Amino acid sequence: MGDILLLGAGRGGYSAGGGGGGGGAVTYTVSSSADDGHFRNPNENQNFPSTFSWKVSYSTATTALSKRFQDDDGGSYLYQKAYFRFQNVDIAQGTTIQSAFFKPVYSSGSGHSTNTMRIVGTDVDNVAAPSASSDGNVSLHTSAIVDWVNPPTHSTNYQTSPDIKTVIQEIVDRSGWSAGNAIMIQTFYNSHPDATRTARTYDDTSGGSAGDYAAQLVITT
């Protein structure tokens, strides 16, 4: 997919920092083309779309967009919602999450300094890579939401979100969650006009190779 990023281990895997089996920080990285990109609503919609009109971007995109922008008629809004899927999350069901941080490389952005991006998870036991419009349904969002005010941009530097441990905790507390399952993070704007963040993705090879700027998820247990 397009640009998305998270700091962390080599492609497709994870790296542990700090302690061993007793916990510590582990970094998971988007590891394949199908695991990042964005949903978009091709239809003009004044309100943030819920269960209809989401479409999945092509898996070879080089950017993952979180975007809300007003159409030329000055009334309707179009939306894009970025997603980042992290495979093989080695956390047992019910484990207490001490902290969790989403780390993308935002190569560009626009909007007022007070614009707030929303971060949620996909509330599914073992989320698959998106393949259908229904995968973007708001009904699949975690109830936990973390707001990120005016995320910084830089062509190569990773940015660190506020702590999203409540989002990750909600997923690993699911009765069907098992160690080794996948977690997907979604980011979007739903209330600010003309707000955009462009994340570098696994497929963005500008200045490097595939995966060099893929998003990361750093979890401490």
Architecture of domain 14-220: Sandwich (2.60)
Contact yes or no for 163/146 (Cβ under 8 A): yes
Q: State pLDDT tens for residues 124-156.
A: 999 999 988 788 888 999 999 999 998 999 999
pTM, rounded to two decimals = 0.84
Query: In 3D, which of 7, 8, 13, 64 has the Cα closest to residue 36?
Result: 64
Q: State pLDDT tens for residues 151-195.
A: 999 999 999 999 999 999 999 999 999 999 999 999 988 776 678
**Cα four-point dihedral sign 31, 36, 117, 152:** positive
| Domain boundaries defined on the chain | 14-220
